[in-house]
A and B are shown apart, each in its own frame.
Chain A
Amino acid sequence: MTNHPLEQAKFILQELPCGCAILDVSGSLTYANPALCQLLGSSEPAIRGKSIEAILTIASRIFYQTHFFPLLNLKGEVSEIFMSLKTANGAHIPVMVNAKMSVENEETVYICVFAPVWERQKYEEQLLAARKAQQKAIEENEVLNKLKAQLEVNQYQLDRKISILRERNNEYLQMSKVFMHDMQEPVRKISLFFDALFGNDQPPATPDDQRKINIIRKSIQRLRHMTKSLLDFVQINASDEKINFLDSSLIHQAKEEVTKDLPEVNIDIQITDLPPFEGRQSQIRRVFVELIKNALQNTHDERPLSIKVAAVVIQENVYQHQLDKYRYTDHVQIEIRDNGSGFDGQYNSYVFGLFNKIDARSGGAGLGLALCRQIISNHYGTIKAQSELGKGTCITIVLPIRQLAE
């Protein structure tokens, strides 16, 4: 052995009691010392030029790409990283890796040392197993206690809410029915006697009187229409229709229902296949009827109405009101897009309110979208509108594919 420092350094590198390798920026091995070659059961020429990944197990390759390399690149060095080397004959060697970034002849290189940790690995495995068991026990206990407390609170609140809701719902239903029937009677009477007084056989007194009569007649009609719609709105809630699997034939039925009394109307509806989803058939059909009617009422002056219906399956959280509760299940997201006159985007949520109308002159009572929202929320879904004035409206409905908890 010589005393020359450079020779000595070379000697140390050759005899180093741990693996040592140099990588270039692309991760290729430009040097491997004898200890590393011996560990890998390979020779320096066989290893040189290969990617570092070639001497790692698959798991360690992932870890190299997701953690080791980004960290080395950012910090300039990493230490005490556990990885597994893969030898020429496929055996795994647990090693501890230290690495640093350096510059050699103006090129960035990474210098790595690998120390096998056969014994240490056994201790660590035992340590980890013990810690895992302990952690699991603690967590389970914690989770259970937390769940128990939460469950009690939830049950209590749920029970109160159910009783209040049930009571309210009954009252609401009864009140509405009484209200509606009782209201219909006076309206009917006003209409009857109004016609008796100012029927067609009576000549109008003056043009001004005729105008007043017309206004009263229109108002009576409107009142009738509104009471009927409201009754509808209340009754759809109360129906106990069975849940079935539904598909896109529903939309065709809805289209026919809307157009059957309007032979001159031609609506172009394009429907991509809907994935089957559960729902109450007549109610969901009603949603499409209302949406098509709406589109028809808001057709753009310059182009015939065209409606595109598309659907995709997405995963949504089934919990809509409980914060911090998550369970993602398959939902169908249906988009009903028309090329109609649209409305200002600021009314996107306003249009779903009861009796809310953007255009006071339009024919409807302002109940259609409110009814849709009612039906969709009864199916644990959501509905929203996105519209652009002059371009059209897109209604997006998200419904769980299964109505009952799986």
Chain B
Amino acid sequence: MADSHDMVKKVFTTNSARVETNKGDAYYDSLFEKAKLRLKALKKQRPLKDIDMMDIVESEGVNRRDFMKWASATTATLMLPPMFTPLVAEATELMNRVPVVWIELQDCAGNSEALLRSSAPTVDDLIFDVLSLEFHETIMAASGHQADAQLEDAIEHFKGKYLLFVEGAIPTAMNGQYGTIGASGETFQEHLERLSKDAAAVVAVGTCATFGGIPAAAPNPTGAVGVMNIVKGKPVINIPACPANPANMVGVVLHYVLTGQIPELDSLLRPKFAFGYRIHDNCERRAHFDAGEFVEEWGDHGAQNNFCLYKVGCKGPMTFNNCSIIRYNEGANWPVGVGRGCIGCSEPDFWDKYAYERPMADANIKAPTGGVEKTVDQFGLGLLTATTIGIGVHAVTSAMVGKKTVHTKDGEE
């Protein structure tokens, strides 16, 4: 067996690696200096809210050491080297220099609900201290024309500075009249166009806002599209998944605060720090895939022993997201953990291509960052030969997020 260091090195130098995890000292040194200047400049700005992060941290019953641990894990999640940890900690205290306006279009409020489940930072801190949340329909106090006025005030006051978070798709059929908002009866499309004009950047959160999601599933009755199909001339960041993981929402804001730039994106405008790996690369059931041990039907011997879920429809091998690393709800669990398998919710058209409980038979899979089209059989074969590499990635990323994962033979942690 090859030396594991060699394997890891290979993972990070091979052309097939999806993310350039190491971009070289020169790159990071220059980014580090840039981030330092950025934070210095932000500090000089009049604060929207004056917070003492350590106060907040301590009121949570967490000490400085734990906070730095969190900052270190977050640094790793953002795929930055450890030297950025103090800057990330500092940036957290400056997050509220960046106002956030959150609007809902053709949505189910699932991403708002997900935001309410944020655990680091917790939601009350997000609302009161950490974020400068100026407008958010699900939690705001005002209604009707007072709510409208609140929105107008925010976009006027923070012209060119606010991040516009958009939840939900945009119906374009019937001149957009499948969705109207406000007393004036403005369509969702008009609403989005108007509010994005003065935003610093637009963040499409959840698969509806990114790729049209469920309203755009066949036959797409309302002509639903994602934000990037409507918003032109502005940076758009896509955070897909159904719902998007709140850790990635916070990550995008943090990255913006830290660098003054939007994070590096893949061809689908997804931040590479979150969507650089496949679910499969870091899956806790991966060892069973490699061993050829599969759940064949629900509740069988394989299910009781946590075997691989590929044959009952897991689309982890085709799906790019970091859920296998950060999981959901304070790390309580994730879909593969509950034995259901991944439904590919961070990929375009996943309702029509991925979300069913059978394996892919002969579908064309377009690997978004790999750029190759292969049938599942070719794809699977490729995966099998890449297995050892996958395990290498797992070890590295697990260490990166500060979670040491030890795999025993039956895949339990």
Bound pair (A, B): no
